[in-house]
Each structure stands twice: as structure tokens, then as C-alpha cells.
């Protein structure tokens, strides 16, 4: 456990204004650690000069640049970086210097001292617009519900993972994923520490509302079948309401006579409600099966054995 190697994975998409400043701050921090380290910069199909600027840093022995064929999105880019890491502790961070690199030594210290699998971060005073913070709040609530892990800030990508957690995430081969949530599936000891947050150094955010909504969907759809359940329960509720309405009409008919309820038109409505409800229910049932197929094709491992103790037990 003595010499922990550190890897830092940074997704880069159109960050030409930030790369110089980022490396100018990150490299000294990494060198001060007195541990072997590598920095993996993943160019996520940038359309500006980012890739050229990144490549200039490869003259440094600890810097590697991964070029993707097109823009795959932040989480896929990080996964691509994960696929080539060599370190024992793997950190992720943004390229726009919103996450101060100076927090890295503290995160590594917390991880080693507490023997954590994942160290997340909470942005102490977030320097983003209200419109950017609100969707994040929603994502946090959803992520807490879905994963059952009570982390406070899921969106901050300054995070540290132990290598085995990274390997397990890679083994998932998921199309659309949300790395902080996926990591909790494979991590036992998880913690969060507070970090500073800064304004974006240069350029502008790559997360317009449209992408944030997509992220929310990725999170809900990849990690839960809540929407399917919603359809199903909605259908059951609608059917029950239809039945109640029908019963009410029948009683009213007995009490007030034939002329009540517009000569039976309302009765048709009641019947309609029951059937519409049943249709939704049927959709939900089909959805349940699709959900099962989805989980099957996703091939997320049902369990991962950490270690086997006892005679002839452990793997190499
Ligand atoms: N990013 C990426 N691919 C994308 C969008 C963003 O690799 O399609 C990177 C981006 O370069 C940055 C990080 O993901 O390093 C976070 O993006 P951004 O700062 O725009 O998001 P925000 O801080 O607004 O959440
Ligand atoms: Mg940012």
C-alpha cells in the first residue's frame, strides 16, 4: 500500500481558453504529491484548438492525451479515460478550473486515511447561475433516491475512485451513464468532503438545459424503473376511479331515476375510464418486461466479489 499511483482523468470539450491555465495549476500540485502520477486528457471531439494545445503537453512524461473520434459527452469521455488509466487512485475533474486542482492532495489523504472506495466532493459555495443550480438540485434528489446513497452533491465531477471501482464501471459497457451514481453500485465505503468552487475560467458551459434534461433522463432510466411503475400505478388508479364513477352513477340512477346523468352518457365515460386505465396498466406491464430486457442487455454484474478468505481462497 506504500506507493499509490495517482491518475487524473479530465474530459475536454472546446476548452482552448482553459487548457494552459489548467495545466499550469494542475502540474505543480501533482508534482508536489511526491507520488507517481499520470494526467489523462480526453479530447471529446473538440471543434476548437483544444486537441493541439493538449498535445503540446505530451512532452511531459506524465501526460497522455486520448483523442476521441467525435463528441460523446462528458461521462463517455471520462469512461474512455478510465479505459487507459494505470493508477491505483483515479481522480476525475473538469477542464474549466471550476474544481480547484489544489483540493487533490486533501482528497487523496482522506481516501487513504479512511480507506474509502470513493471520495466525492460538495461544492461549498457554488459559483453558477440559478438556472444551472436548480437542475443540479433535482439531479441530487433523484440520485439519492435511486442509489439509496445519501451523498449531497452528485454533479461535482471532482471525485476520486479506487482502481477496482473504475474497473467495475468499465466492465458495465453502458451506453448512457452517470458515473457518480454508477460508482456507488460498486463501492462500499463512500464519503464526501467540502471543496471550493470557482467561476468557469474561460469559455462557456457545455451544459445547456437540453443536455441537463438528457442527463436527468439517463440517470432515471439507467438506474431505476420508476417511470414504468408510474405508468402502471397511474393505470391502476385510473381504472379504480372509473369503477368508482360507475358505481356512483349506478347508485345515482337508482335514487334519481332514468333522466339522471344525461341518459347514460356518463356511464359511457365511466366504462371508458376503466378501459383507458387498463390500457395504461397493460403498457406498464409491457414496460416491466422491457425493463427486464434492458437490465439483461446492460449486463451490469449481479454481484462482484471483493475477495475470498480462507484456504486457497484468494484470487491472485
Ligand atoms: N465536457 C465533455 N464533453 C461534453 C461536454 C462537456 O468532455 O460533451 C467536459 C468539459 O470540457 C468540462 C466538463 O466536461 O471539462 C464539464 O463541462 P462544463 O464545465 O461545460 O459543465 P458545467 O460546469 O456547466 O456543469
Ligand atoms: Mg464547468
Residues lining ligand 1, judged by CB closer than 6 Å?
11-13, 15, 44, 71, 73-74, 77, 94-96, 98, 132, 205-207
Provide mean pLDDT across the span 215-235.
84
**Is pLDDT of 307 > 80?**
no
pLDDT interval class at 40 (50, 70, 90): very high
- Residues less than 5 Å from ion ligand 2, measured at CB: 94, 96, 98
Quote the pLDDT of residue 315: 53
pLDDT interval class at 112 (50, 70, 90): very high
Residue whose CA is closest, atom 19 of ligand 1?
205
Lowest-confidence segment of 50-59, 212-221, 227-236, 274-283 by average pLDDT: 212-221
**Is pLDDT of 301 > 90?**
no
Q: What is the pLDDT of residues 132-145, one digit of tens each?
A: 888 888 888 888 88
**Is pLDDT of 47 > 90?**
yes
Residue whose CA is closest, atom 22 of ligand 1?
205
Residue whose CA is closest, atom 23 of ligand 1?
205
Domain edges within the chain:
6-224+301-309, 226-298
Pairing between strand 190-195 and 89-92? unpaired
Q: What is the pLDDT of residues 193-221, one digit of tens each?
A: 999 998 888 888 888 888 888 888 888 88
pLDDT interval class at 2 (50, 70, 90): low
Percentage of residues in the chain having pLDDT higher than 90: 46
In the block, cell 443540479 appears at 136
Counting ligands in written order, the one closest to the CA of 9 is 1
User: Would you identify the CATH topology of the domain 6-224+301-309?
Assistant: Spore Coat Polysaccharide Biosynthesis Protein SpsA; Chain A (3.90.550)
Q: pLDDT averaged over the chain?
A: 88
**Is pLDDT of 192 > 90?**
yes
Quote the pLDDT of residue 1: 47
Q: What is the pLDDT of residues 252-279, one digit of tens each?
A: 888 887 776 666 777 788 888 888 989 9
Name the nearest CA neighbour of 145 among 226, 82, 62, 250: 226
Query: How many angstroms separate the alpha carbon of residue 156 from the centre of ligand 1?
Result: 11
**Is pLDDT of 246 > 90?**
no
Contacts with 134 (C-beta within 8 Å, 6 or more apart), sequence order: none
Alpha-carbon distances of 96 from 16, 100, 105, rounded to whole Å: 10, 9, 19
Amino acid at each position: 500500500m506504500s506507493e499509490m499511483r495517482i491518475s487524473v482523468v479530465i474530459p475536454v470539450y472546446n476548452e482552448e481558453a482553459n487548457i494552459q491555465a489548467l495545466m499550469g495549476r494542475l502540474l505543480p500540485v501533482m508534482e508536489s504529491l511526491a507520488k507517481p502520477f499520470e494526467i489523462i486528457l480526453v479530447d471529446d471531439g473538440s471543434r476548437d484548438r483544444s486537441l493541439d494545445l493538449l498535445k503540446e503537453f505530451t512532452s511531459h512524461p506524465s501526460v497522455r492525451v486520448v483523442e476521441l473520434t467525435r463528441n460523446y459527452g462528458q461521462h463517455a469521455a471520462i469512461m474512455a479515460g478510465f479505459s487507459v488509466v494505470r493508477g491505483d487512485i483515479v481522480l476525475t475533474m473538469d477542464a474549466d478550473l471550476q474544481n480547484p486542482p489544489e483540493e487533490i492532495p486533501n482528497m487523496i489523504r482522506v481516501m487513504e486515511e479512511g480507506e474509502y472506495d470513493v471520495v466525492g466532493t460538495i461544492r461549498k459555495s457554488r459559483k453558477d447561475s440559478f438556472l444551472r443550480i436548480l437542475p443540479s438540485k433535482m439531479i441530487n434528489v433523484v440520485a439519492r433516491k435511486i442509489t439509496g446513497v445519501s451523498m449531497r452533491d452528485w454533479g461535482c465531477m471532482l471525485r476520486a475512485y479506487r482502481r477496482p471501482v473504475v474497473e467495475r464501471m468499465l466492465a458495465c459497457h453502458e451506453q448512457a451513464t452517470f458515473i457518480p451514481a454508477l460508482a456507488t453500485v460498486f463501492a462500499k465505503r463512500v464519503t464526501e468532503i467540502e471543496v471550493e468552487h470557482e467561476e468557469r475560467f474561460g469559455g462557456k458551459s457545455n451544459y445547456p438545459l437540453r443536455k441537463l434534461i438528457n442527463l436527468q433522463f439517463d440517470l432515471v432510466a439507467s438506474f431505476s424503473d420508476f417511470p414504468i411503475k408510474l405508468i402502471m400505478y397511474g393505470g391502476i388508479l385510473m381504472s379504480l376511479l372509473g369503477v368508482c364513477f360507475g358505481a356512483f352513477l349506478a347508485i345515482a340512477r337508482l335514487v334519481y331515476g332514468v333522466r339522471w346523468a344525461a341518459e347514460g352518457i356518463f356511464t359511457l365515460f365511466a366504462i371508458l375510464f376503466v378501459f383507458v386505465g387498463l390500457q395504461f396498466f397493460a403498457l406498464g406491464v409491457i414496460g416491466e418486461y422491457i425493463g427486464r430486457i434492458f437490465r439483461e442487455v446492460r449486463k451490469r454484474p449481479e454481484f462482484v466479489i471483493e475477495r475470498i478468505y480462507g484456504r486457497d481462497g484468494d484470487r491472485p
